[in-house]
Amino acid sequence: MDTMSHAADTSHPESRVSASERLRAAYWRVLYDLDALRLHQWEQSNLTLPQLRVLFQVRRLPGITTGQLAKSMGITMSTTSGLVAKLADRGLLVRGVSDDDRRQIPLELSETGQQLAGELAETTRPFLDGVAEELGDELAGVASALETLAAATSRARSR
């Protein structure tokens, strides 16, 4: 039986639980399983979660400025500046130079920062490959649902 007809079948206990409650429960189960792997790796990197967020944001958007970074992360400029300074001091971030405005300093990952971010990002790849294998024929449908979820979370966050 496919997932869609299973969800609509009222003889199953999960159909008595709202879809919103099922989403929350499934979200936390998945997050717990993924984060157990990532947290172990992060602890070994000796970086704080806010520092990791900066690292991955700069990896995703090379050339981002500290002001843009603060806005995208929803934190103050002074907090962001402190995080950037610590990561630069550790040799993970490089502050660039802007010819147009000396206050607009583009940020890039150093080679060491790129390597660390890559290692951290790759931590979950074998696990997710195993999950994909477990899903088998349901993989495409789950991937589509996750893409829909990602778009919805992006819209909800921007509101």
pLDDT at residue 70, as a whole number = 94
pLDDT at residue 157, as a whole number = 83
| pTM (2 d.p.) | 0.63
pLDDT at residue 6, as a whole number = 46
Taking a C-beta distance cutoff of 8 angstroms, is the pair 138, 123 a contact? no
pLDDT at residue 15, as a whole number = 64
Q: Which residues sit opposite 109 in a β-bridge?
A: 93
pLDDT at residue 3, as a whole number = 46
Taking a C-beta distance cutoff of 8 angstroms, is the pair 94, 108 a contact? yes
How far apart are the C-alpha atoms of 89 and 81, rounded to whole Å? Answer: 12
Taking a C-beta distance cutoff of 8 angstroms, is the pair 114, 120 a contact? no
pLDDT at residue 141, as a whole number = 96
How far apart are the C-alpha atoms of 144 and 152, rounded to whole Å? Answer: 12
Query: Could you list the mean pLDDT of each consecutive 10-residue stretch along the chain, which spans 159 residues?
Result: 46 74 92 82 84 93 94 93 95 84 82 89 84 96 94 89
pLDDT at residue 16, as a whole number = 82
